[in-house]
Amino acid sequence: MRRTALLASATLLAALLPMTTAAGASGADDPGPAPVPVDRFEGEVPFASPPAEGLFTWGSDTDDPPALRLTAREDAPEGDQVLTGGYDISGYGGFTHDFAFAEPAHDWSAHRGIRFWWEGRDNGRKIAFELKDGGANGEASELWTTSFTDDWTGWKQVEIPFTDFTYRTDYQPVGGIDQVLGLTETWGYALTLPVGVKGDFAMDGVELYGKADQSLRAAVTTDAAVHPVREGGAAAVTLTVATTGAAPLEEPVTVGYETAATGTAEPGKDYTPVTGTVTFPAGTPSGATSTVTVRTLKDRQAESAETVPLRLTVTGAKPPSETPQVVVDAHGLPYLNARLPVKKRVADLLSRMSLAEKAGQMTQAERGAITAPGDIAAYDLGSLLSGGGSTPTPNTPEAWAKMIDAFQLRAQATRYQIPLIYGIDAVHGHNNLAGATVMPHNIGIGAARDPGLAERTGAVTAAEVRATGIPWDFAPCLCVTRDERWGRSYEAYGEDPALVQAMETVIQGLQGRASGADLKDDDKVLATAKHFVGDGGTAYGSSTTGTYTVDQGVTKVTRQELEAVHLAPFRTAVDRGVATVMPSYSSLDIAGDGQGPVKMHARADLLNGVLKGRMGFDGFVISDWAAIDQLPGDYASDVRTSVNAGLDMIMVPYAYKDFHATLLDEVEAGRVSERRIDDAVSRILTQKFRLGLFEKPYADTSGASAIGSAGHRAVARQAAAESQVLLKNSGGVLPLRKNQKVYVAGSNADDIGNQTGGWTITWQGASGDITQGTTILEGMEKAGGDVTYSKDASASTDGYDVGVVVVGETPYAEGVGDVGNGNDLELTAADRAAVDRVCAAMKCAVLIVSGRPQLIGDRLGDIDALVASWLPGTEGDGVADVLYGRRPFTGQLPVTWPKSQAQLPINVGDAAYDPQYPYGWGLTTLSHLPQGGVATLKGLAVAAAVAERAGADEAGRTLVGKARLIVQQKVGQAVTAAVAKPFADADHLLLTGRYGKAVELLTAAYRAASWPPHSRLSE
């Protein structure tokens, strides 16, 4: 390898400086192989993401990935260029060099370690350095980590021996490949940059150095770090010796063991001390095991759990990363008695807990933050979560269950063995899990207008989530979306609180009975009503979060509007027994209260006063992701303000240590009362007892075989079909006939990622083949249609009977999808071109796959049929079912479809209301439609009023439905303001049970459709 004179002088200088590790260079007697370059940063490695080889960035939020570039520097330690970058990270962020997945992994096993040049800033910050070892590729490998501290100025060569790396237990193939840093199949490296400080860095000349340490070729592991055992029982700790490449041991490996008296158990009273040595002779095959048994003793006293560390001393191999602990289970205490009422169990346990243990129960951390699994017990953590895209590798049901069980096992090493409660955003099915059943997003469920179906979608979601060991779902979103420019519009069931309330049957699908009696079942989870309150009402331009325009902004309302629009769904949720509530990131500005905009995480008047007080909510309140950081003031102020406002558990993804310490300080200083802490912890423990976690803390995977099953997908398929809203159908283009030759085009016809949208596998979702399912095109082909596909409509359009163009949005989530933040409500140029080309050549149906209405009025005249397909999930068969008439179109608009962006916000009930299509609009392909005119409608109004007085809801809804269909036939596409307002208002009245008045308004819409533009005609 060619070296520059500059590099030679820099190397000489580095030799005079202390290294970051005590290991220094390899031995003088045998220098080992020559250094091997990994990265010179001269342009030989591109900036590219997997599966290609390259450097790529990542982070916890869109603002967190660093910016990388290759920069020419005269002082470059190696060559002419160095890797430079800037960062300003709030959660986590860094960069990776992955080797190409299609090429063999690299063999680094001949070398002592890895080294590189780093330009120090002397900021005292730790920088994590990670290796990817074994597995199928760089994103499915073991992860091994260490760190160095930037405590110098200028260029310095950092040497890290491979012996410094420890095995990570979080982002792992669960159970590991072999938990040996073999280095024979290395897939690259990664650096995690400092958090909470704006900075820049420069790096150069990554290379392998020195001769391999033979102890790397063998390692001793234990079967678990924690071994719970009932009092009087025996714990068996299994020792395993494993070698790189599964070769036999070249040299003997000895393991000395002894029970240490440093635990909480008393030797001779609680257990029988043991000591001894296990020897694995040379030639022992990799994977050989030996067992050390620790026997516990009965003292016939009720006790909390007690620990017995088993100290191991290993010669000839790498030792386990942790000292295993035998834990004598807590026993004989009232809170452990499942026959006692939950209230008594909670009171007993609470009376025994220390303040530190209570603070731990109020703390929720992201799984990725737990790089030291022992922290679960050390901080008595009450909960872990997976943020969007935070998954085990491989992303399978088995891996989820094993990962969560491993976390749960750690909680058994605490005094009272309070189980963790693991939470996840399963907002439209178990959407983080590859291969799970993904439902339509909520806006599609709102379009279906089927409470029974909504409940079944919740039941499927709960069953698939609980089968992977997760008992808590951060769903449903009960937001009432009032402006389709909001990037979370699709998470709402609609713009009408009455529609949102009607769909809250999903809570029973998730939780079972309102009493909570079903929560212990293996197919039920805690539900979360979010985001309390007003997140769907934030004004355009009011957000101060990054580049967001709407999300996390300010909702300005009168008290009457607050009660009628935004609080109403939460009253219903509390009545349905929802177990947890999550406040909104947004601020609430109530006219006349004199407070101005106040973040919801600080609004004690609404959390304590309205939710817990007036509504009688007896579950617990969980914060949103790091949301307390958005409160004004310092961190101590954030903690005390939010807890005093009524938050019971705080989601502090990467700040769990700081939160725990700060909460203790605030209580000890008297700024947060112990009574407030006891209330919060009581609420949390109540739900843990209801879930049966004390009796069954580990995953019950008996239902795992049903994940993604035909039965579950049938529910999602029905939901996809019922969610389709037929907006226009000139000439009866739909349904299609199987004998027609159909030309299919458009960006969303054959893209499972686009049709599932955000919150699918990852937080933002992604285009492409990201999970198992059926695209709309595949569904049409399976339906037996004679289909030809040309994505961009570039293929010849001659000889076809009808065209189907599937267009719309690509995935986004939260404020990333806000209009004005790189998004709008217009079709892309490619989609417009496909629509224009196909619709000019033949009769055409346009399907819009999107999370919100798209502006298409300028093309309506050229389109024969228009369908709002929303985000239908993984089951494109459901869309094909209505296209080919297997099911009729029955969906109705859950939001108003605007004519232009200038109309926004536009909602049912507005005084001025002139949309493209009104709220509630939805044509049908039923073969027998009700007929009649004003006289018929009058009769329906009388009958509907009778049904209303009699409480005959099903009959009332049927009568209103008939009237709606009659009106739509009359209106056709001539939707005027005079038609739209009474039509939309009637749909709201239908949902509130005012059937007679609803038909009266539909009659008014019918009359408006009958009147010539400038005259009034009598009936």
Buried b (16+ CB within 10 A) or exposed e, 71-105: eebeebbbbbbbbbbebbbbbbbbbbbbbbbeeeb
Strand blocks (E) in 441-513: 472-473
Torsion region of 997: left, alpha or beta (phi above 0 gives left; psi -120 to 50 gives alpha): alpha
CA-atom Rg of the chain in angstroms = 31
Rounded CA-CA distance 686/682 in Å is 6
Q: How far is CA 275 from CA 223, 260, 662, in A?
A: 19, 9, 41
Q: How far is CA 467 from CA 418, 420, 430, 687, in A?
A: 21, 16, 10, 18
Rounded CA-CA distance 151/19 in Å is 11
908, 953 Cβ separation under 8 angstroms: no
**The residue type at 897:** W
- Name, in order, each residue with C-beta under 8 angstroms of 967's C-beta and a sequence gap of 6 or more: 937, 983, 1002, 1005, 1006, 1009
**The residue type at 389:** G
Q: Enter the DSSP assignment of 329.
A: P
Q: How far is CA 537 from CA 495, 673, 792, in A?
A: 10, 34, 37
| Known catalytic residue at 455 | no
**CB < 8 Å & 24+ apart, contacts of 45-54:** 45/97, 49/98, 50/98, 50/101, 50/137, 50/138, 50/139, 51/100, 51/101, 51/102, 51/137, 52/100, 52/101, 53/98, 53/99, 53/100, 53/103, 54/97, 54/98
In three-state secondary structure terms, 857 is: helix
Q: Is the peptide bond before 497 cis (omega within 30 degrees of 0)?
A: no
60, 92 Cβ separation under 8 angstroms: yes
404, 373 Cβ separation under 8 angstroms: no
Q: How far is CA 804 from CA 50, 448, 807, 814, 863, in A?
A: 34, 22, 10, 30, 10
Q: Which one is catalytic: 164, 491, 624, 985?
A: 624
Q: Which one is catalytic: 464, 814, 831, 875?
A: 814
The H-or-E segment that residue 483 falls in is none
| SS3 annotation, 768-806 | CCCCCCECHHHHHHHCCCEEEECCCCCCCCCCCCEEEEE
The sign of the torsion formed by the CA atoms of 998, 1003, 1007, 1010 equals positive
Helix %, strand %, coil % for the chain, to 5? 30, 25, 45
Closest CA to 479 of 529, 525, 521: 529
Closest CA to 549 of 298, 324, 820, 864: 820
Rounded CA-CA distance 310/684 in Å is 33
Closest CA to 159 of 131, 117, 128: 117
DSSP string, 390-455: ---BS-SHHHHHHHHHHHHHHHTTSSS-PPPEEEE--BTBSTTSTTS-BPPPHHHHHHHT-HHHHH
Rounded CA-CA distance 561/645 in Å is 22
The separation between CA 842 and the C-alpha centre of its own chain, rounded to angstroms, equals: 42
Rounded CA-CA distance 575/487 in Å is 29
Rounded CA-CA distance 376/683 in Å is 20
Rounded CA-CA distance 21/5 in Å is 26
| Known catalytic residue at 624 | yes
For the annotated catalytic residues, the residue numbers are 624, 814
